[in-house]
Structure 1
Amino acid sequence: MDLLSDAITAVRIGQPTSNRLRAADEWCYRFAPYEGAGFHVLLRGSGWLITAGAAPVRLSAGDAVLVPHGSEHTLSSRPDGSGAVPFEAAEADPAGRTEFLCGKYRLSRARRHPVLAGLPEVVHIPARIGGELRAAIDLLATEVTTPRPGSATALAGLLDLLLVYLLRAWLAENPRSGWPQALRDPAIAAALEALHANPEAPWRIEDVANRAGLSRATLNRRFTTLTGYPPMAYLTWWRLTTAARLLQDTELPLPSIAAKVGYGSPFAFSHAFKRQFGVAPGSYRTAAEG
């Protein structure tokens, strides 16, 4: 079971973008709120990441930072962030001693998986963590700087890889909290694997408990504590989130989507979908196409 891949696939609504910039000695850039996640990698020099209501985060060369909820934030050469200008108005300085790679992932807030929703406002990964992450950063920086045949495809893949490595690094650094702990708990991981692999199956709590090797009561208590959802509530959420992705990414008719996510009739599916997303499936699809 690859829940992290499922979580990313479920929320993706477009291709990521990135820019590489070399800045002068004094610089301060503001990033507006965004439906998705932003990232920054400091390739050389040092700086600060500033968000509302939190202490500034010191960044050193090689550090990576993810802003997973698209919050407004500032990158600056100083910790107060005064005089920030929009990043879109940034002027490159070829002789500058600070260089960073910035980018955005387009992710749906409405379909955000709780493993992503539970991330802090800022995920800071120091340079000392994650050899795989460092390799991805080096490759990405090269592709952004020197476009070559196939660069568009390479960039999209490397940006996806960077997101996975950033999330892996955070999960590894926080093994005893919430979802990171759930993914390391053999019983809960087995239950999640079963639900993700076959959301269309006619699951009962007894079936999920058997897969996990736990009693119903123990499964319900442990699953809820670690994930924030009772098992069957999580199944409903995952079914409808999967359906939303299928409505956006495919042309499957509603009865086929209903069957793929475990609903016996389009009517029951439509009722459940509207309860979760506030609109009927057909309206959701039309809005996504627009």
Structure 2
Amino acid sequence: MTFAYQEQLAAGSAGEDVRHATWLLVDDGTVVLTAAGQSHLLRAGDAALIGAQVRHRLATHDGATLTRADLRAVAVGYPLANPLVVRDFVGRHGGVAELLRRCPLAGPCRPSALFASGYASLLGAAMTASWLEDTGRGTDGPAPALDPAVGQVMNALIADPGRAWSVETMAESVHLSRSALGERFRRSLGQSPSEALRDVRMRAARHLLTGSDRPVEQVAYAVGYGSGAAFSRAFTAAHGIGPQAWREDPSAARDADRREAHGSDDRTDRTEEQHPADAVLVEHRAS
């Protein structure tokens, strides 16, 4: 997660279909979230997490105020619903909600990237715990283990990201076919192997852009792209803003998110343009 901001939806707003990772909290009013062929009426205090794989839209009849963030699930130990709706999030996790309200990432206190990571962990834990409780799974005991093959591939990506990974080489590393590995990834993580690789590399890019002074061209090679141009295209498609603009002002991504909400999302996976990556940091929970 790199930004959070408050947004006003005008009365009668119908919204447009978009596809990007979103966490939202309804501060006031009511909102209809349409995603994955279903509609969810969200009232003040409700929250929702929508993964980047699902197109969604927001509409309101009388107007609403939202807190929004680009919370992304990099890898999770639970097969969470997408979208994931939590009723009365404020009543159940008032401290987390108040933290974002009092010190939003784009607000006057302007917390650092380290705080943003902490916010993401809190939100991810709160959303996951509520979902487990609501579905009767409970929160006691260890999280269910990932599919062994998925876990092995993810560990391999983390241990040797410099390798020229493709779906085929990932599948070969665990003695599975491409289609079998893809099905296991979708069941365990809700995304394909190439999407997981892309998310790992994009998170690494965000980490390097905000935490180092490497030139963008070097960042491109470090996270697995063969050229600065290929990296810039992929980064812009994933974030709605170029890597240099992100580095200069990460909070500007919230404005890119607003622009993205008014246009189409025809992102394509460009893994064929990627170059072996340097070692990167990967969180195994919501980030």
TM-score by length of 2: 0.48
Specify which structure has the bigger relative contact order, considering alpha-carbon pairs within 8 angstroms and separated by 6 or more residues.
Answer: 2
Which structure is higher in helix share?
Answer: 1
Structure with higher Rg: it is: 1
TM-score by length of 1: 0.48
